[in-house]
């Protein structure tokens, strides 16, 4: 929809915020949809963000200017370099924590999409010693383990925000080769190879946290998804069936 509107208006030549973009509008559609889905599925509220690595230049990524995800349109999306600098900000304000994205893209060539969120269900697992573990096939990717980023180890007493490249690098180091990391007293970061996958992982990460807390409250030992089961399941799904539904519901 945005794509067609943009083309019909010729905005790529006319609108300042967009003219700096190398990305074709198709990715914008998906990135805008991802913003709206994360809001409608209660993964983000007024805060949190999602980015996408430019397929034409692996050293750049697309991320909205600093507004609530639910309100993002194609016109709000800016391009950034791997130092977290906007290529052409046109005066728009950037998210302070864009370094979460830039440093993960730098450290992880396999990652093309990054979500940062503060979903309430995730917070308890970031501030206790209880590790998040996979409760069912939908969150099988958690079998790889979910490390917790303690910002004090990297930056001492901070304002909790990953608002420098150094803190972003420390977070990327904690994330290592995993699909998600919790951030103590803050939230989480989720990564994947595609936009639908990073959205799907974010949604099922949140459900897993709720379900695991309920299972712990029931008492007794819990049978988690086995790493081998997780490996086999990983090959069989890409959230494509759910992606169409999420888009419809987010409209």
CA distances from 7 to 1, 11, 26, 77, 147 (A): 10, 7, 11, 16, 43
C-alpha to C-alpha distance for 81 and 59, rounded to whole angstroms: 6
Q: What is the dihedral of CA 113, 27, 67, 61, to 10 degrees?
A: 50
DSSP structural state of residue 225: P
Does 166 engage in binding with its own copies (CB under 8 A)? no
Among 35, 51, 54, 138, binds its own copies (CB under 8 A): 138
Q: How many residues bind its own copies (CB under 8 A)?
A: 67
| Placement of tokens 């990715």 in the chain | 27
Q: Of 41, 70, 85, 97, which is the active-site residue?
A: 97
Whichever of 12 and 237 has its CB closer to its own copies, that residue is 237
**DSSP assignment of 126-143:** HHSS------SGGGGGGG
Whichever of 13 and 218 has its CB closer to its own copies, that residue is 218
Q: What size, in residues, is the chain?
A: 251
Q: Answer yes or no: 229 catalytic.
A: no
CB contact at 8 A, 96 and 37: no
Positions in 113-132 near its own copies (CB under 8 A): 118, 120-121, 123-130
C-alpha to C-alpha distance for 171 and 51, rounded to whole angstroms: 16
Positions in 6-45 near its own copies (CB under 8 A): 45
Binding marks (x or -) toward its own copies, 188..227, rule CB under 8 A?
Answer: -------------------x--xx-xxxxxxxxxxxxxx-
Nearest to 74 by CA among 114, 31, 22, 19: 31
Binding marks (x or -) toward its own copies, 80..119, rule CB under 8 A?
Answer: ----------------x---------------------x-
From the centroid of its chain, how far is CA 106? 15
Whichever of 88 and 121 has its CB closer to its own copies, that residue is 121
**Residue ranges that bind its own copies, judged by CB under 8 A:** 45-47, 66-68, 70-71, 96, 118, 120-121, 123-130, 134-138, 140, 157-161, 184-187, 207, 210-211, 213-226, 228-229, 232-233, 235-236, 239, 241-246, 248-249
Active-site residues, by number, are: 97
């Amino acid at each position: 929809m945005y794509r067609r509107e943009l083309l019909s208006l010729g905005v790529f030549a006319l609108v300042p915020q967009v003219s700096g973009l190398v990305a074709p509008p198709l990715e914008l559609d998906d990135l805008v949809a991802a913003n709206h889905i994360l809001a409608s599925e209660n993964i983000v509220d007024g805060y949190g963000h999602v980015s996408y690595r430019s397929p034409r230049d692996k050293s750049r990524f697309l991320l909205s200017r600093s507004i609530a995800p639910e309100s993002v349109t194609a016109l709000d999306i800016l391009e950034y370099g791997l130092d977290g600098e906007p290529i052409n900000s046109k005066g728009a304000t950037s998210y302070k924590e864009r370094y979460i994205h830039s440093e993960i893209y730098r450290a992880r060539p396999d990652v093309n999409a990054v979500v940062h969120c503060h979903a309430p269900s995730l917070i308890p697992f970031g501030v206790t010693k209880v590790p998040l573990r996979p409760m069912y096939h939908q969150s099988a990717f958690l079998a790889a383990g979910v490390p917790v980023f303690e910002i004090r180890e990297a930056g001492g007493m901070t304002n909790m925000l990953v608002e420098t490249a150094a803190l972003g690098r420390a977070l990327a180091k904690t994330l290592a080769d995993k699909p998600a990391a919790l951030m103590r007293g803050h939230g989480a970061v989720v990564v994947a190879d595609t936009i639908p996958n990073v959205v799907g992982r974010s949604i099922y990460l949140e459900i897993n946290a709720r379900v695991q807390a309920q299972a712990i409250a029931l008492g007794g030992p819990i049978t988690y998804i086995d790493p081998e089961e997780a490996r086999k399941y990983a090959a069989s799904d890409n959230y494509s069936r759910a992606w169409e539904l999420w888009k419809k519901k987010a409209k």
